Amino acid sequence: MSESSRWTMPEMAGILSNKIPQDELKPGDHIYSWRNAYLYAHHGIYVGDGMVIHFTRAAGQEIGTGTVLDRFIFSSSPSHPSGSPCPRCGDQSRTEGVISSCLECFLCGGELYLFKYGVSPGVFIAKTRGGTCTIAPSDPPEHVLHRAKFLLQNGFGVYNIFKNNCEDFAIYCKTGLLVFTNVSVGRSGQATSFLAATTAIVSSPLRFLTTGVSGLAAVGFGVYCISRYVSDIGVRRDVMKIPVERLILCPGPLESEAATITDTSKEKGL
């Protein structure tokens, strides 16, 4: 193995787990916690003083995918037993959109994990579960905190599990990148992993590539990995860096402007 291809010890540890102690958190960190027996994760931005800004729907409401997932996946708004709201956050069982919660309410009894940025392609592929890392680099913490706090006051649009979810919110806060393709999913690694798995299962060309069960599994896994990789926010080309103020104040023209810039870049061979 060449020196350049060797993984560092932090990378090796990151493949095994992204778990992090609470006392190691820093303002601007993108954190997440698994829900419903690791079925999905809820994401947010740690802003310091034990508080997290995150994007969600009211507790107890189904996300509304229009699929069988609606039977299992529910909102991640903090909720407490009736009559005993969090002394720090109050009753947030009916709040929705971009909200601020204490770390304990955000975790809802789950464990704390740190989303990784700027990972190598090898580490990204090795982390077969989506929604844990990205190849894209993070912006400085002050930019991340500015976006999160600005969106706390102004909102982040309508929640959509495939195009505008809690992970999309956190990734935008960290990178400022937005996707402008109507036919694709957003920035969320969880959503792209779900669609990549679906592609690997139903892709008709697979039956022509191998006849053995082990071969079919290998090809299917390869399709899954490639689909995840090309959909990562750090690789795909249908993204633009958008200042948070423009995202809120003039959302209408941004998509057409993005298309214009993309077309111009193609003409220049960029």
Mind telling me the catalytic residues? 42, 54, 166
Q: Are 185 and 233 in contact (CB under 8 A)?
A: no
As given in the structure block, the two tokens for residue 9 are 């010890």
Burial of 134 (0-12, 13-18, 19+ CB in 10 A): buried
Cα 5–chain centre separation? 27
Q: Residue 42 contacts by C-beta under 8 Å, 6 or more apart in sequence?
A: 32, 33, 35, 54, 56, 76, 106, 108, 166
Angle at 257 between CA 254 and CA 258, to 5 degrees: 85
User: Rg for the chain (alpha carbons), in Å?
Assistant: 19
Q: Are 79 and 93 in contact (CB under 8 A)?
A: yes
- Please report how many Cα atoms fall inside a 13 Å half-sphere around the Cα of residue 55, on the Cβ side: 27
